[in-house]
Amino acid sequence: MAAYGALVSLMHIIDRLENHPSPPISINKQQVESLTENVTFLQDFLDAYISPVVDDHEADPLERRIADAVYAAEDVIESQIVLQIHNRSTIRGKKSSFVNLFRARCKCATIDRNELEVGVNAAEDFYHDLQQVIEEMNFIKKEATEIATAAQLQRKVSSTHAGSSSTVKEIMMVGFDEVLLEVLDKLTGGQRSRQIIPIMGMGGIGKTTLARHVFQHALVKHHFDIFAWTTISQTYSVRETLREVLFQASGDSRSDLSEVELRLALHKYLWGRRYLIIMDDMWSTEVWDKIRSSFPDCENGSRIIVTTRLSNLTLQLGESYGVGMKFLDEASSWDLFTKTVFGGESCFPHELEDIGKNIVANCKGLPLSIATIGGLLAKSERTTEYWMRIEQNLNSIVIRNNDEFCLKILRMSYTYLPNYLKPCFLYMGVFKEDRRIRASMLKKLWVSEGFLKPTSNGKCLETIAQEYLKELVDRNMIIVDKLGSIGNVKYCKIHDLLRDVCLKEVEKERFYHIIEKSPSVIDNECRRLVFKNGGVSRSLSHARSIICDEKNFEMPHNFRLLRIFKEYDRDTNQFGVGVHFLGDVFQLVNSRHLAVKLHRNSEFPSSINLLWNLSTLIVQQSAFHKFVAPIEIWKLHQLRHLEFVEKALILPDPPSDDIVIMENLQTLKGVMNLYLNEEVVQRIPNLKKLHLVYHWEDMEGLIELKQTERANSFSYLQCLSKLESLQCSTDYGYDDEYLQRISFPHSLKKLKLSLYNLELVEILQKIGWLPLLQKLVLHGGAFKTGKWDTIEGQFRSLKLLQLHYCNGLKNWTMAENSHFPLLHELRLRGLRQLEEIPSEVGEIPSLKSITLKGCSKSAVESAKKIVEEQQDLYGDQLDLHVRAIVRKEHERLQSLASPNFEVEDFLDAYNM
């Protein structure tokens, strides 16, 4: 919801001004208190508020007024900030506050009296403008108080629900035979104690349908004595739930019983009987906590099935078993579609088959979508023209065709989201359909947009963003598309139908505006703009975010209040010429997030110090071009992420006269020849990601240092006690001098070293004892003795080991498989001298994958032997897969292919 997100954002602005070491403006203390009080009250109000607006096409007027008032407050504050920063940049020595300006007037005759008067007048105007906004918020607060008092903010109990039995019958039970058998087995076998069986999945995936089939199954009817079905929903009533279960179980329809009497009556009736209770569409464990005492455990095999959209509800219910509903595969999707459209007919019209398969593919395995579109086609003309029209407008037809069934089910997932998650979910619509969204990029944008509400325990915003992402995944609102090497979410997606629901809410709330073609008519009040093609020439003074998803965007100089400018994306932008100069970009002094492609002649200006609130700076150069950062970069108090894609940023020594601790800085990527010392590491105490590159030919500054000082530079890494990810690459002539004394912090989880010819055995001794290390990538370096003997107790947490072109390794020995107890994946490349992979590697219980590319024939053959030994032990249950990429001339290796041993041609793999 736009109003809630705006309130959180405004509070961020106030907090940053209050806590910044050199804020560009100051706000009257009384006004700060009034704003904070109003924001806090309205956030609490919205958390309990039930909108009376029934029409889904219109925004709630009260929520719109709240959002507009908050936006007005932001406009007043940020306009004043921009004004003061620009004034400060044009008058040397000018201070940010007008009190200091007056003091400067007494000391410096170069400041004009007119400028002073203008400044004082501007300060007075700022106070009055902000006061007007506060008065409007006071009026809204008064109205909200009256609404809260009148309604007592109690949720109405819904007597009907979108997931009731009258609608779920529309989806046939197709593609879930194995899941059905799994649930039946759990119902009728296993433990005699009462058990809860959660069935989990996104809206429309068939949870209720599965539960209905279970409920009506002959085996279940024979096994249990008592049956009851109740729909919980978000707006449940404990009393009504108990009354409904009692009525279905016993036929007792008395409505005069109190809640306590209902609890006792239900418990008494169920005692000693084997019962099956279905609780459909549960949104939290709160209702179960209130009614669980009514369901006795008589050790007779009673069961309770819970359907839910929340994947994490299993643990909350104290159960270790849950049934996850997945999307239908291609065959099952087609089966459901044909049965829905043609019933029992076995002959599908040939001229419609290809179109039908395209329609099914676009449904992305969601039974709700397939059944809805199939139901429409079953009642419509069977012509290629009509079906092609349906194919082209699939999602909008699915949403609009059956509003009571389809849209209501899908929209419910959004409606019942907590307010703090709604802006994050709505932001998913910024990205094009079917787009793989990099989770790290998404979280940076959430932070910069100001959506994330700080917690009382002091968690950093990135941690909160990670928790929000996980919660949206657990609620099946976001799909995990790819996991990272250590199990983190690397890419995510949103289902097309949920994206359409998202875009409808976005349009209603005016949350952002998507511009497909240029020129476009744009509401001047729109604060977030998503450009799919081209730019815009008109003034957009209210714009706060510009997202360019595909192409270069030639930005006009009229976005004075812009916070987010994302023009570069590593997953969509191809390497090419950028259009921006850093000097122009840094004119956006209100910026929080800048991700840009730079013109080849761009330089790094000192005006970066004007960006008082910058949190993310991501730069892609059009060619390798060194950027020497000005010393002012060390004064960016709010900076959280600094990334130079082409690894060519040179940082100066920090200033000794103005010590700013960059306590928010977490990411530092693409830095060249960074000289680490005590002063540097003290400036960046909370760094989590550090990517460094060292080029000998550009080492003029470090060469002048003494040998011990150069070596000690890497020993200071251990002082970065929160560092989790370290990448470091070096070139010829560098390794031995600089890396022998390297010391790693124990906090490291990921380590990638690209070395030239460094002796690896000694450095692996240090790496092996890192207690939290989960990913290790070594590229280059040498085993000068030809041996690597792993040691018991090392690499205790390692999940991924990757060795690329590590010269000289012939003999790799392991005494026990416990040397890598958690290893999940092993990747070997260019190890042409390696005689074999230790057989103990195959005995590691967690190992799932081995990949070899360009390795010796004997190493490939040893991998095959590992697979054969493990197959003898586990047979078809073997969960280890080996992929060997070899050259065509190695015919002997080509013949080793088997189900668990994939052999691929080197050139084919290269061209993929």
User: What average pLDDT does the chain have?
Assistant: 81
Q: How confident is the model at residue 742 (pLDDT cuts 50, 70, 90)?
A: confident
Question: Which region among 170-184, 318-332, 836-850 has the lowest average model confidence (pLDDT)?
Answer: 170-184
Cα separation values, 770 from 753, 764, 793, Å = 15, 10, 10
Q: 887 or 518: whose pLDDT is higher?
A: 887
* Predicted local confidence at residue 175, as pLDDT: 67
- Three-state DSSP state, 151: helix
Q: How confident is the model at residue 167 (pLDDT cuts 50, 70, 90)?
A: very low
Does 649 score more than 90 pLDDT? no
Does 776 score more than 50 pLDDT? yes
* Predicted local confidence at residue 811, as pLDDT: 94
pLDDT digits 0-9 by tens, 222-281? 899 899 988 886 667 888 888 888 888 888 777 678 888 888 999 999 998 999 999 888
End-to-end CA distance of the chain: 43
Does 206 score more than 60 pLDDT? yes
Does 372 score more than 50 pLDDT? yes
Q: How confident is the model at residue 559 (pLDDT cuts 50, 70, 90)?
A: confident
Q: By percentage, how much of the chain surpasses pLDDT 70?
A: 82
Contacts of 245 (CB under 8 A, 6+ apart): 228, 230, 266, 277, 294
pLDDT digits 0-9 by tens, 678-687? 889 999 999 9
Task: Look up residue 200 and give its DSSP letter.
Answer: E
Tokens encoding 805? 């072109």
Q: 325 or 776: whose pLDDT is higher?
A: 776
Q: What is the pTM of this model?
A: 0.77
Does 705 score more than 60 pLDDT? no
- Residue labelled with tokens 């009556």: 265
- DSSP letter for each residue of 843-869: T-TT--EEEEES--HHHHHHHHHHHHH
Task: Look up residue 403 and give its DSSP letter.
Answer: I
Instruction: Kindly tell me the burial class for residue 154, based on how many C-beta atoms sit within 10 Å of its own C-beta (0-12, 13-18, 19 or more).
Output: exposed
Question: Which region among 223-237, 287-301, 750-764 has the lowest average model confidence (pLDDT)?
Answer: 223-237
Does 717 score more than 50 pLDDT? yes
Does 575 score more than 60 pLDDT? no
Q: By percentage, how much of the chain surpasses pLDDT 90?
A: 31
Does 8 score more than 80 pLDDT? yes
Report which residue type is found at 81. Answer: I
pLDDT digits 0-9 by tens, 92-128? 444 444 334 334 433 433 334 454 455 567 778 899 9
* Predicted local confidence at residue 762, as pLDDT: 86
Task: Look up residue 256 and give its DSSP letter.
Answer: -
Q: 495 or 72: whose pLDDT is higher?
A: 72
| 287, 310 contact by CB (below 8 A) | no
Does 757 score more than 90 pLDDT? no
Closest CA to 737 of 755, 761, 719, 718: 755
Does 154 score more than 60 pLDDT? no
Among 548-562, 584-598, 622-636, top mean pLDDT goes to 584-598
pLDDT digits 0-9 by tens, 428-486? 989 888 788 999 999 999 999 999 988 888 889 999 999 999 888 877 788 888 888 88
Does 599 score more than 70 pLDDT? yes
Cα separation values, 663 from 23, 425, 634, 639, Å = 16, 29, 11, 9
Q: How confident is the model at residue 622 (pLDDT cuts 50, 70, 90)?
A: low
Does 354 score more than 50 pLDDT? yes
| 205, 193 contact by CB (below 8 A) | no
Q: 83 or 876: whose pLDDT is higher?
A: 83
Among 191-195, 584-588, 837-841, top mean pLDDT goes to 837-841
304 backbone dihedrals φ, ψ, rounded to 5°: -130, 120
- DSSP letter for each residue of 442-475: HHHHHHHHT-PPP-TT---HHHHHHHHHHHHHHT
- DSSP letter for each residue of 273-339: S-EEEEEES---SHHHHHHGGGS---SS--EEEEEES-TTHHHHTT-S--EE-----HHHHHHHHHH
Instruction: State the virtual CA torsion across 398, 401, 406, 410 in degrees, nearest 10.
Output: 60
Cα separation values, 348 from 357, 384, 388, 635, Å = 11, 13, 16, 69
Does 157 score more than 60 pLDDT? no
Instruction: Kindly tell me the burial class for residue 95, based on how many C-beta atoms sit within 10 Å of its own C-beta (0-12, 13-18, 19 or more).
Output: middle
- Work out the average pLDDT over 844-859: 92
| 882, 862 contact by CB (below 8 A) | no
- Work out the average pLDDT over 700-712: 54
Rg of the chain's alpha carbons, rounded to an integer? Answer: 32
Instruction: Kindly tell me the burial class for residue 52, based on how many C-beta atoms sit within 10 Å of its own C-beta (0-12, 13-18, 19 or more).
Output: exposed
- DSSP letter for each residue of 548-570: ESSS-----S--TT--EEE---T
pLDDT digits 0-9 by tens, 723-735? 999 999 887 655 5
Q: How confident is the model at residue 823 (pLDDT cuts 50, 70, 90)?
A: very high
* Predicted local confidence at residue 346, as pLDDT: 56
Tokens encoding 315? 């643990």
- Work out the average pLDDT over 406-411: 69
Tokens encoding 242? 């108990």
